[in-house]
Amino acid sequence: MKKSNKQLKERGDKVFIGTYARYPAAMVKGSGCRLTDADGKEYVDFMAGIAVCGLGHAHPKITEAICHQAGELVHVSNLYYTEPQIELAELITDNSFGEKLFLCNSGAEANEAAIKLARIYSGEGRYKIISLSGSFHGRTLATVAATGQPKFHKGFEPLPEGFLHAPFGDLQALEQLIDGSTCAILCEPLQGEGGVRPLAKEYLQGIKALCEKHNLLLIFDEIQTGMGRTGTLFAYEQLDIEPDILTMAKALGSGLPIGAMLTSVKIAESFVPGTHASTFGGNPVASAAAVATLKIMLADGFLAGVRQKGEYFQAELGKLAERFPAMISSVRGMGLLVGAVLTEKGVIHGTEIVNKMFDRGFLMNFAGNVVLRFVPPLIVTKEEIDLLVTTLAEVLAEFCYADTRLA
């Protein structure tokens, strides 16, 4: 007999440690921007597995790459070379500022590698890393310490030493935190989890200038903004600055777990055999999926399409903001990493809006307690965007009539 959402939820809740507040659906199949749950209900996916499924679900080229590689070789560890891994590193270094790559399995691991590299490169006594308030860098102890949101620290103290947080948008305050023991500044070009909050180009250029002035490394966490999400392969390309180290993960393997840290030859030289490692890092199957992903994203017109659809989506949401000023105050983002900023009154209903959209078959979330966040697969169509916007308008209208405070 086919299992239902309810049955699967009950079984799952019995055996899982309660780290997630899951929606009451068990997904069984995906195709393009659509998902189907165990009860047969269809969803239009504007979540993409948290900005992971850039090419949507079950993309035939990704399926083929995974199946082919799985039939050849799944794992040998990094005691040996494998071609998918080499091809992946070549593709990334050929299409970015970077010259050398370290492969791992997740975003947090990529940031851990970056933190360790920044410290060992900078030498004795230089260990402090400054990140920004509102940032998100992962859940391991070091990356959670780097994360500039106290709610993620609570209960886990003492955290590793040497992580400082500068108030968002304030270059002077940032410079005041720098001393002789600082080795790097770590930031996302656009804060994803923190509420789809872009850092102004001038601000980022100011951060770069501080790094140059004080001889610090600039680490860009492009785990969410990378892999075409913003309309260029990496977001830094739109900012006229280059970081010294860049981390990526999420969409890199189209859903297979893989992360990477990218840097220059000079900085990379501080890592030698024995300084850092990962058993699974750059696993051939995950690497093959990443190679196939990159080839599609780098093909003619793909990234331009992301920029066009991102502009269209943001403009359509902008119209909603005009229609529902009591709920949406503005729209922001880069490419297809888009947030509708809720008003003070709108925020009260953020979770409910997302739940109502879920009931209507649309997946999205409420991020940073301020925005409705949309991170659809990059292959999303104009029609799917229209469908989401129309449905969101219906939901917002319900709130405006239901809640007299919003009248």
Footprint of ligand PLP (CB under 6 A): 106-108, 111, 136-138, 188, 192-193, 221, 223-224, 249-250
CA distances from 283 to 103, 177, 188, 223, 288 (A): 9, 39, 26, 18, 9
The secondary structure of residue 160, as a DSSP letter, is P
State the number of CA atoms in the 13 A half-sphere of 81 facing the CB.
5
Nearest to 404 by CA among 345, 320, 319: 345
In sequence order, what DSSP letters do the residues of 281-319 get, joined into one string? TT-HHHHHHHHHHHHHHHSTTHHHHHHHHHHHHHHHHHH
Closest approach, Cβ 21 to ligand PLP, in A, equals 16
Q: Which is nearer to ligand PLP, 56 or 226 (CB)?
A: 226
Closest approach, Cβ 111 to ligand PLP, in A, equals 6
Closest approach, Cβ 85 to ligand PLP, in A, equals 19
Helix, strand, coil share (%) of the chain residues, nearest 5: 45, 20, 40
Q: Which is nearer to ligand PLP, 139 or 307 (CB)?
A: 139
Closest approach, Cβ 79 to ligand PLP, in A, equals 25
Judged by phi (left if over 0) then psi (alpha if -120 to 50, else beta), residue 186 lies in beta
Please answer whether residues 183 and 124 qualify as being in contact, where contact means their C-beta atoms are separated by less than 8 angstroms: no
**Amino acid at site 263:** T
CA distances from 127 to 122, 142, 214, 276, 305 (A): 8, 12, 14, 17, 41
Closest approach, Cβ 306 to ligand PLP, in A, equals 18
CA distances from 403 to 321, 343, 356, 406 (A): 17, 14, 15, 6
Q: Which is nearer to ligand PLP, 223 or 395 (CB)?
A: 223
What are the tokens at 266? 């000079």
Q: Which is nearer to ligand PLP, 289 or 406 (CB)?
A: 289
Closest approach, Cβ 224 to ligand PLP, in A, equals 3
Closest approach, Cβ 221 to ligand PLP, in A, equals 5
Report helix, strand or coil for 369.
Answer: coil
Q: Minimal CB distance to ligand PLP: which residue?
A: 107
Q: Which is nearer to ligand PLP, 137 or 165 (CB)?
A: 137
Closest approach, Cβ 274 to ligand PLP, in A, equals 24
Query: For the chain, how long is the longest CA-to-CA vector?
Result: 66
What are the tokens at 154? 């609570």
Q: Which is nearer to ligand PLP, 45 or 188 (CB)?
A: 188
Distance CA 387, CA 35 (A): 15
Closest approach, Cβ 246 to ligand PLP, in A, equals 12
